[in-house]
Structure 1
């Protein structure tokens, strides 16, 4: 899998079909314990059911290896309830990270009269302003980075956490395996991973009825805990830096700017084909991408092979969040990737008033951008297939009046839109936590909860 990881991160697509066939054969043979479920989120052609199959197999061996140790610990939750519901947030990303930017206002808005907040961090302390901001959100902030998986679980259990919320899933640096030790009576998959974790160790997944339609429940090991709007938080106290201009960003003075700031591994050749067709049919346009030193040359070469001058791909370097948001507003239209959508990058674009188009799929990761567009009342920008996606992008790039109307509507309404109402979002999230806890106290098994599930 190391070759596969490297090739995806640098947009080396020559062996993608070979890898799809190998993974599908492994799924059919039940031999997927070496294939991280995370890989299937971004690889076209795999269903949510296959993603669950991969997650189940990924964890099966790990569960077997730790079975004796977990049995010896045998945590017992026969204890009287506490005055407040004790929430434990588990992550490696309490720092300058996309998850932290999304979640910060929600953590700050939690009702401390009803909930007690514990952070369990196993990532690096970068000493940055986001780390300091997050530390202030919690009643206790605990560093687990030097502890074993079992000792992490013991620490969480000793703190009498009622609901343990995992913010990582199977993303880079994960220690989601802590949840397999069952250190809390209720365990939740939330925000950081757009898919099921499989197995039987996570009770709920925070979602909405667009990213996970009720009929897809069988593709998830967790019960659905549905938010009434989008599952993704964002907030409205998000600083946008000083205004930038095209020259500062290396963009041409004139011409349409298509943009996608998703990580390179999310870009599939089929999507890149469409982008190059758009460049061909929109004279003077450019495609603005996130800089990746190893992928840049390959993408420019791929563009050249499709008849597009490599100079029409412009790359944006890494800058602090506020400066990133300021430059993002220079884009005319954000183009989404499939099957792994823009997530944080999508809500950031909408926050600064830049329209986004997406092509919806049938997995959680492929429906996130659609969920966000619904939350800002722009369902018209959700395409049902690639042909409609291309036609919509071409129409907007060639009809500036319609695009300007959408952009104006987004910018004028953003402070009143559900996606950016962190206070209302937090109330709904706390309502889900309360229902989870009430069901546990009543001896009821996890089941779909939320107003719209």
Structure 2
């Protein structure tokens, strides 16, 4: 019996020795296949080795490394965990297992394994910089940089460690330090793709977009199929307003990596910008299926709901994004904008969320030292205007009249343009200014220094919290006096903003203490130039036999609250029709959704005409179809209200409990049509019914209204501009009298 057992043991030992010898003979083949990038062959050979010797450490380690390199993370984890079990004191295997776990986003486990590797081998540079990357993904940026520094100290010529440190510095917005780290990596390894890519990211942070594009293209020359780089270039193209190229990059990145979050979110972004809401929502939902905590996906999905007029759902998504990332500026901005459309929000709510922007973002931005200032109260004042909308944009219609009619003897006018888009309106803005600065590729710091060197006395924000704003610049206070006006005139919540141009109706005296700025009254919140070449048109109802209402506003301004009121109006006027005109109606998803909402409120589709985008001349001509315009609420019309009045079409408006819901009524009152402004829903309907029943009075008003508007203090753009200039001089005299 004993001899039988001994014989079996002897035979097993001989077999194991034979298997080991055969396995060791195969190992060089596996290594050669791995080094030549033939991962499938390497993994097959490793499998053959492990079939012979299941605990063959070298084969397990090589199989794990090959699987990691080829993206087979489950196989990599399995192989490396077995390797570590076989040789727990092998630092390299521990480090590679840490890389796998980090790639699987199991960061706590990865950190523990990487720290074990470093404990086994304290100067292990690869493990140290791998740990740094894991810490960076855990949002522990300072500790990440410390780990990368230790890697560099252990291996001063380690390009990867410099690059990885740069990525961590980038996330802390330490842009100059990040650039230096990437430059050092490139000095050691000139074709280091990630470092080249990193330089592109630095340049995006600094708004140096052309330089960023050069860097991304260089990175793609090194590795043409790098999906992450392609997707980031797509994001850059959005910043450069090159939307078709952006979308092409997102599609190319997704062809390589169908679930790449950056590319999916980029696709959502570009679709929202080009009014294609259904594919934007689909992209956001794909991200959230895999990453429910993606604050960016939540913010863009919220934007999609906002576009459809579902403001409550939009705000819920923005709040969820802010729970995940409290300093996520884009979500705060989107929430601020959406709350202007929300029926339940009043001025107190609006100003509180603007203060929230300051607390989360603006308060952490250092102010610029102003230096010496000439406090001569009567000298020529330099006024700087900052906007991304010196182009064909509704905001430009509100401030171009002021630019065009400034008196350039007492005022020097400089425009700081923050958009790459230029057109004929841009040329008009340039012609109206004494100085023009293309600032769209200037960081806030660079632009602040330029404004200071231009000796701007009064710096005017023309964007508020709308898209393309530079409020982070205004947080630095680069000018002695700062004003917010016109483009999105709702108050900013910035303690560094001194004045807000408004009017007594839009911002009643009782609520003014809620604003961060001092409110200064103009004849109206905004004005616009008279309509070019506009001719009086006949009243349509005289020919049609029924009244046609017009809503030439953003479709997201059409709230359920206002649809309730309009449905009551349409029940009282069973033959009435309504024309809704907005560029967003080119999107069938939004158009069909809007029609469905009208139908749900009892207004048949046959009574509704939807018109999409057109050239401005055609847009104005469409008012010939309309007898009476209906101002939406709680977010009123602005430019659209002026256009309607100037075209001879009176506007029914209602005063609400927020600036956004009082702006339309303020304009209507400013041209003397006080009896067209209601205090409540019933009065709104009553006004529309009253004038719909009196076509002769409506026809007379239609003929008189353009001249009446043009002669009013709010509609006469020269008078209006003089009032603006009186404000500037008043602000400057106060500043000088106070000694700064």
Who is 2:349 aligned against? 50
Q: Paired residue for 2:699, among 404, 407, 426?
A: 404
2:317 & 2:468 partners in 1: Cα distance?
Answer: 27
Who is 1:449 aligned against? none
Which structure has the bigger radius of gyration? Answer: 2
1:233 corresponds to 2:524: no
Q: What are the superposed Cα offsets for residues 135-171 of structure 1, whole Å, 9 maximum, x if unpaired? A: 1000111011011111111111111100000000101
Q: Is the 8 A contact 2:327 2:361 kept in 1?
A: no
1:135 & 1:144 partners in 2: Cα distance?
Answer: 13
Who is 1:97 aligned against? 393
2:485 & 2:708 partners in 1: Cα distance?
Answer: 28
Give runs of aligned pairs for residues 166-177 of structure 1, distance below 5 A: 166-177=461-472
Q: CA deviation at 1:17?
A: 7.0
1:35 corresponds to 2:332: yes
More displaced stretch, 178-187 vs 394-403: 394-403
| Distance change >3 Å, CA 155–CA 208, structure 1 → 2 | same
Task: Please identify which structure carries the higher helix content.
Answer: 2
RMSD over aligned Cα atoms: 2.8
Aligned pair count reads 429
Q: Is the 8 A contact 1:241 1:323 kept in 2?
A: no
Give runs of aligned pairs for residues 168-207 of structure 1, distance below 5 A: 168-207=463-502
1:22 & 1:166 partners in 2: Cα distance?
Answer: 25
Q: Is the 8 A contact 2:301 2:317 kept in 1?
A: no
Q: What are the superposed Cα offsets for residues 224-258 of structure 1, whole Å, 9 maximum, x if unpaired? A: 1112x21312233x3146889999xxxx9553211
Task: Please identify which structure carries the higher strand content.
Answer: 1
* TM-score normalised per structure 1: 0.87
Q: Paired residue for 2:358, among 43, 59, 73?
A: 59
1:317 & 1:7 partners in 2: Cα distance?
Answer: 20
More displaced stretch, 262-271 vs 320-329: 320-329
Q: Paired residue for 2:683, among 382, 385, 388?
A: 388
Q: CA deviation at 1:98?
A: 1.3
More displaced stretch, 328-337 vs 305-314: 305-314
Who is 2:450 aligned against? 155
Q: Paired residue for 1:123, among 411, 419, 436?
A: 419
- SS of 1:218's equivalent? helix
- SS of 1:89's equivalent? strand
Q: What are the superposed Cα offsets for residues 5-43 of structure 1, whole Å, 9 maximum, x if unpaired? A: 1112123x3x8279479969x99xx99974332221111
2:379 & 2:611 partners in 1: Cα distance?
Answer: 50
Q: CA deviation at 1:383?
A: 0.3
2:431 & 2:486 partners in 1: Cα distance?
Answer: 21
Q: Is the 8 A contact 1:77 1:185 kept in 2?
A: no
1:288 corresponds to 2:587: no
| Distance change >3 Å, CA 145–CA 304, structure 1 → 2 | same
Who is 2:403 aligned against? 107
Q: What are the superposed Cα offsets for residues 287-328 of structure 1, whole Å, 9 maximum, x if unpaired? A: 111242232101211222233321322112222222221222
Q: Is the 8 A contact 2:550 2:579 kept in 1?
A: yes
| Higher RCO, Cα 8 Å, sep 6+ | 1
2:501 & 2:456 partners in 1: Cα distance?
Answer: 18
Who is 2:304 aligned against? 6
Q: CA deviation at 1:53?
A: 1.0
Q: Is the 8 A contact 2:539 2:627 kept in 1?
A: no
Q: What are the superposed Cα offsets for residues 341-390 of structure 1, whole Å, 9 maximum, x if unpaired? A: 11000011111110001110122211111221122110000100112112
- SS of 2:361's equivalent? helix
* TM-score normalised per structure 2: 0.55
2:685 & 2:650 partners in 1: Cα distance?
Answer: 15
Give runs of aligned pairs for residues 50-449 of structure 1, distance below 5 A: 50-67=349-366, 70=367, 73-79=368-374, 81=376, 83-126=379-422, 128-227=423-522, 229-236=523-530, 238-240=531-533, 255-291=546-582, 292=585, 293=587, 294-443=589-738
1:304 & 1:366 partners in 2: Cα distance?
Answer: 25
| Distance change >3 Å, CA 438–CA 389, structure 1 → 2 | same
Q: What are the superposed Cα offsets for residues 193-251 of structure 1, whole Å, 9 maximum, x if unpaired? A: 23221131100001111111121111110001112x21312233x3146889999xxxx
| Distance change >3 Å, CA 35–CA 57, structure 1 → 2 | same
More displaced stretch, 193-202 vs 298-307: 298-307
Q: What are the superposed Cα offsets for residues 60-104 of structure 1, whole Å, 9 maximum, x if unpaired? A: 22124433xx3xx42324445594100001100001111212222
Who is 2:233 aligned against? none
